[in-house]
Structure 1
Amino acid sequence: MMITHFSHHHPLSPYQVELDHHDHHQKHDDQDHDHDHDHDDQITICSGCELELISGSSAYKCNKPGCDFRLHELCSELPRESRHPSHPQHPLTLLFTPHYSFTCKACAGSGTAFIYSCTACRFDLHVSCIALAESVRRVDHEHPLELVFSSKEEECCGICGCSFVEGCWAYLCRGCGSYGTHLECATSEEEEEKELLVGSGENEEERGIPGSR
């Protein structure tokens, strides 16, 4: 069923990402095989969170010719307003095209698409950062790691060894008191396992990995 979304002027249709790639190849059957091979390596990006649309996942796309607007299914369902413990003073509003150059308070990264923002305080978060888990577990550490909303530059990540960005979010171990990780490092082991499963052709659902869809 087609939907309308406040961030885009045209209706959006549901599709499975791998079917979209397949359709593209069908249109280019008569073209050079090397060209098709190049498309196999092309990454399709969600217009909302600016992250990759994974083959096999559900998404929405604009059917207007020449329009590449696409959204993860989850990004299409994001609430227009959110309360987050990192900014308890005010609610955060979902903006689809920031009118200023912003820096995410969580990861210090920039962006051009969806953000959750408190315009009064110039407090901005990527939609992927606002969805970070409050705690994570790693097999190489005995205690759970908890999300904190500020870190110190003199402290170093227990996984990659690099220093934290002053004031940015991190995962810290309350049990040890001195062990912490960057946001991306905290889940690096899980991502590596997923890549291995994809490479071996093994389905996540067969392995019972939480969060697989």
Structure 2
Amino acid sequence: MDATLNPERVVEFFGDSFEKVATYADELAVQGEMRGLIGPRELDRLWERHILNSAAVVQYLPSSGTIVDIGSGAGLPGIIIGCMLPEASVKLIEPMERRCTWLSEMVQEVGLPNVEVLRGRAEEFHDAFEADAVTARAVAALDKLSRWALPLLRTGGEMVLLKGRSVADEIEPARKVLRKFKCSEPEILSAGTIVGVETTTVLRTIRGK
């Protein structure tokens, strides 16, 4: 775990899901750089910058139903969500085969029967199911992400994205697609985890009819 973090606070934050999250984090620390999932400079800040950053979105997600992570990559935030929300059905959409292989390995290694890996682009699944929530982290700008994510949602479903601090600048270019799906006015939320760790910026909007 990162030297700057208080281990007791981290364990307390994750609660019953800590062991599963820690198993995943350990595998990512050992294999992540070798498999092209994270950069070498990320290892010293793996928990703060990636694990806790991903976990921050969970407070804004439903505890059950279907949750989709678009462009899941290394499994951030999808694997973390699967660990923390065992009652939810979590679908990880990822187009790259080698990343899907990694994700499938982690589902088995960590023990996540509620998580399914789907290889392909989000657009390929627009008619496959209706999700209660869709999330993504560091994938694309809001206008592009909205075109991918919103068709996956049921009416009343939520798009809940981990974004950078300049996300407000992305809203206006995305207005056309947000109006198409009759979305609520996007909210920019601050998502905290443990004391001493920087908050994460989350954008949330609800799909209308």
Identify the structure with the greater helix proportion. 2
Identify the structure with the greater strand proportion. 2
Normalised by the length of structure 2, the TM-score is: 0.27
Q: Greater CA radius of gyration, 1 or 2?
A: 1
Say which structure, 1 or 2, has more relative contact order (CA 8 Å, 6+ apart).
2
